[in-house]
Each structure stands twice: as structure tokens, then as C-alpha cells.
Amino acid sequence: MVRIIVKSGYMKGKSHKEYYVNYIATREGVEKFKSDYGNMKATKKQQKLIQQLIKDYPTATGMFEYNDFKENPTRENASEFISSVIDANLDDITTKENYIDYISHRPRVEKLGEHGLFSDAGLQFELNDVVKEIGEHEGNVWTHIISIKREDATRLGFDSVQSWMSLCQEKRNDLAKAMKIDPNNLKWFAAFHNEGHHPHIHMV
């Protein structure tokens, strides 16, 4: 059995839409601790940030990464949980001053060329054009995060950008149906974040 976690939401504000698309398109995989330090106990700063995140976003306790951290509260697991909660709540977190410093020091996505976005059209588009189009869209913009455990991703072949792109292209009509969008009107973009324990995609 494969357990997949999907977190969905939507954005309205122009600045939120543009920031979100730029962020998921240019962010690399999670910041990794060196193996010498990753297995050490989570730092006090990490523990404090995790407590604040759980207070602000209680549903975060249902994430894969939270279970990993609770079972083994290491620096690496703390880092992955913090990163995942911020990714899942980016549209809200960008307005909270106490998280801005953390966001501003995050690394970027695993890229294919200048950015990591893919879509029905593959990779043949300019990031600035996409950011502008989504920012100026007058309706709501759906956001989805689809996460899978590393061992399942490796076993099923979903540990590469190409695999996720093919899957999204194949299932686009199912996605449209789930969001009650006419398939002819659906336009989507996604980016693959190759996290250590839980690879996932962001889709808008």
C-alpha cells in the first residue's frame, strides 16, 4: 500500500500568487545537514520554531514529516518538518514576520534549465510569463502539494522530474474533474521538490 498526502488550497491576491509561483519554481530541495550533525538532537531554535508552527498550523501534525520527527527528533528530521510546513502554508506564512527570515534563507528547487516548472507543454515556457499570467488571473488559483514517502517514490519510480511530469500530464483530466474545472479550461504548472524523506510536487 502506498500512502500519499495531498494538501490543497487556493490563492486570491496578486502578490501571493506571483511569490508562490516564483518560490516553487526556483527553490532547490530542502537544506540538508551534514551527516555528522543531522543525527544529533534538534536544536533549541528548531524545537521553538516547530512549537510555533504547530500552534499556528495544527493540521501539520498529520504530515509524514511530523511522524518522523516525533519518532526520531533529530536535526535532519526537524529541518524536513519545518520545511514541509512552510511549503504547505506558504501563502499565509509570507505575511508573518516571524517566518520571513527562515523563508529568505531557503535554498531553491532542483531545476531543469532556469526553473523547475513543468506543465502540459513540458518545459517550453518562460517563468516570467507564467508568473505574470497567474498573478493577473482574476479568479482563484488552486494550489496542491502531493507528497509520497521516499521508499515508495524509489520503488515506483517517482524520484525524478520526468516521472512526475508524465503522471500529471496523464492524469490532467482527472485533476480537472476533481476541481470541477472543464478540462478545456484547465491550465496547470508544477515543480518537483526532491526532499530527503518525502519527495513531493507543488502544483498550481
Bridge partners (DSSP) of residue 148 are: 4
Neighbours of 3 (CB within 10 A): 9
Host H or E run for residue 24: helix 14-26
pTM: 0.60
Neighbours of 53 (CB within 10 A): 22
Torsion, CA 27, CA 30, CA 36, CA 37, rounded to 10: 110
Average pLDDT of the residues in 51-73? 92
Amino acid (1-letter code) at residue 203: M
Three cell numbers at 179?
A: 476541481
Three-class DSSP category at 69 = helix
Tell me which of 28 and 72 has the higher pLDDT: 72
Amino acid (1-letter code) at residue 22: N
**pLDDT tens figures, 180-189:** 999 999 999 8
Give alpha helix (H) positions in 57-88. 64-71, 75-88
* Biggest CA pair distance of the chain: 51
Q: If we measure between CA atoms, which residue out of 185, 199, 201 comes closest to residue 151?
A: 199
Three cell numbers at 42?
A: 534538534
pLDDT of amino acid 34:
45
Q: How far apart are CA 53 and CA 44, in angstroms?
A: 14
**pLDDT tens figures, 9-27:** 766 666 666 766 766 666 6
